[in-house]
Structures are given as structure tokens and as C-alpha cells.
Amino acid sequence: MKKNTFWQRKNDIEFPDKIEQVGTQILEAEDIISLMPDAFILFNLWHKRQLLLLIFMERLIFLSALNFIL
């Protein structure tokens, strides 16, 4: 089991790529989730430290390795 954080893009004219946390959910290996076309993807790449990767309009944006609980 792993706690996952869900985010959505915030409608902000000054900061169009700003995101806000909208909830958390514990997912197990057999759980299935669906993503909408405008979704951003979060990956836990190294299990010790987590890197947030965002996909916006076919651009990959790397944010700093942060201590998110994903």
C-alpha cells in the first residue's frame, strides 16, 4: 500500500502551470485508476527520494526532487 497525492492545475492567469493538492488516496497494486487527457503524471523513481514529473501540453517539466508523499 502506498499513499498517493492527487493534484490539479489551478486556473491562475499569472501562473498558468500552478498546481494545487486536491486529495490523497491509498492505492494497492491491483487498483486501477483512469487519467484524463490533460492529466499530469507523477512517478516515484527511486523509492528513497521522489521526483515530480509533469506533462503539460506535450512538454515535460521537471520540478525539483521534493519530499512529496506519493
Q: What is the pLDDT of residue 22?
A: 80
Q: What is the pLDDT of residue 37?
A: 61
Helix (H) or strand (E) holding 21: strand 19-27
> Which of 64, 39, 47, 36 minimizes the C-alpha distance to 2?
47
**Which has the higher per-residue pLDDT, 49 or 13?**
13
Tell whether the model's pLDDT for residue 13 goes beyond 80. yes
Instruction: List, as one string, the DSSP characters of 31-54.
Output: ------TT----B--SSSSEEEEE
How do residues 27-62 score in pLDDT, each as one tens digit? 777 777 766 666 655 555 445 444 445 544 444 444
Q: Where are the domains of the chain?
A: 3-25+36-68
**Mean pLDDT of the 17-27 span:** 80
